[in-house]
Structure 1
């Protein structure tokens, strides 16, 4: 990365870090995925019960397998061969986990987390249930404000995820949100988390790489 671009990015991440800390989050800034994994391992104690929220940041960058290899109990929604009923049971058990590891669709410079869910299990657990929530986010998830967050989530992340999931929705044809009423619509629960009411429950690891959608 160009040194001037790196300087600009570091300044932005520091501003976001301060905003998140003001909103009761613990925040780490790391250089890359490998440093993020080390940070994750240092945070999670042995024998903890850990679950995942749906996230391409976790899937594409080896976080799932990394956690599986830790000395923890994994509520593994990504385990091969699970039935929809078994996955649903894991979703419910997640509310009693020690840690939920996930990402956020957007993070504003004011320190707000913005997420859009299909079933709502990820957003719900981010709000309440697990003792701690760890959010892994590349710098590309950072936006200026809630207006930019809404545009990013509805017109970028949602169409890409709908396409990834092979959903029959208008956005997979035109590439932007059409605010449809399709039975296969994935954007059903739009959640803004302004702050964590319990200090330290939310942990955000900001990664100086472009990750996820």
Structure 2
């Protein structure tokens, strides 16, 4: 990236980190994906229990492979040959782990974390249960405000994830949500019945956290994930 563009981007990162801190969310910046695993490892202890939310970012940064190293008790939702019953058990165990790792759909410069889920095992564990939550988030996901976060999911994150999951929804065919704009009646959610197989079922905004430092955000200076 051009040094001048990068300097402007870093100002946005700095604003976001300061705002997250005011919401009791500990945030830090790393310049490349190669720094992610060492940083994540520094925040965890050998032998602790860990689980993850569905995340392309964790795969692309090598975090998933690190968790499989044997250093942790890892409840692996991606384990080869896992059955539906075993997956349900992993999701339930995720609520009691020492550290839960995932990504987010957007970060706002106001210090908010925005996530949209289908089944919502991810946001459930982020909200309550695990002693520590670590989110690995590309700096591409930083937006000015909540409206921009909503639009980012509708036009970028959700269509990409729906295509990855082969949902056959409107966005997989058209590259954007069936209700791609925000309006006063349907700010976040779709109109009732608009998308039968939607993966956008529940919408969560994480703002001021009552437990200081429980939620940690690692902002990566690269384009990673959706």
TM range (shorter): over 0.9
Question: Corresponding residue for 2:220?
Answer: 207
Question: Corresponding residue for 1:7?
Answer: 7
The reply on whether 1:185 has 2:203 as its aligned counterpart is no
Q: How much does 1:197 deviate?
A: 1.3
Counterpart-to-counterpart distance in 1, 2:160 and 2:27: 28
Structure 1: runs of 5+ lacking an equivalent: none
Cα deviation code 1:126-151 (max 9, x no counterpart): 11110010000010010000000000
Question: Corresponding residue for 1:102?
Answer: 102
Instruction: Report the 3-state secondary structure (helix = DSSP H, G, I; strand = E; otherwise coil) of the residue aligned with 2:116.
Output: strand
Counterpart-to-counterpart distance in 1, 2:168 and 2:195: 8
TM-score (norm 2): 0.91
Cα deviation code 1:163-188 (max 9, x no counterpart): 11111211111121114544421110
Counterpart-to-counterpart distance in 1, 2:5 and 2:175: 29
Q: How much does 1:112 deviate?
A: 0.3
Q: How many residues align?
A: 213
Instruction: Report the 3-state secondary structure (helix = DSSP H, G, I; strand = E; otherwise coil) of the residue aligned with 2:67.
Output: helix
Q: How much does 1:8 deviate?
A: 1.2
Question: Corresponding residue for 2:140?
Answer: 140
Question: Corresponding residue for 1:170?
Answer: 170
Question: Corresponding residue for 1:27?
Answer: 27
Question: Corresponding residue for 1:117?
Answer: 117
The reply on whether 1:195 has 2:204 as its aligned counterpart is no
Cα deviation code 1:25-67 (max 9, x no counterpart): 1111111111121111111011110100111111223210022
Instruction: Report the 3-state secondary structure (helix = DSSP H, G, I; strand = E; otherwise coil) of the residue aligned with 1:204.
Output: strand
Question: Corresponding residue for 2:68?
Answer: 68
Counterpart-to-counterpart distance in 2, 1:88 and 1:198: 27
The reply on whether 1:156 has 2:156 as its aligned counterpart is yes
The reply on whether 1:131 has 2:131 as its aligned counterpart is yes
Counterpart-to-counterpart distance in 1, 2:197 and 2:114: 22
Contact 2:139/2:220, CA 8 A, preserved across alignment: yes
TM-score (norm 1): 0.96
Instruction: Report the 3-state secondary structure (helix = DSSP H, G, I; strand = E; otherwise coil) of the residue aligned with 1:15.
Output: helix
Counterpart-to-counterpart distance in 2, 1:77 and 1:101: 12
Structure 2: runs of 5+ lacking an equivalent: 179-189
Question: Corresponding residue for 2:187?
Answer: none
Counterpart-to-counterpart distance in 2, 1:124 and 1:107: 18
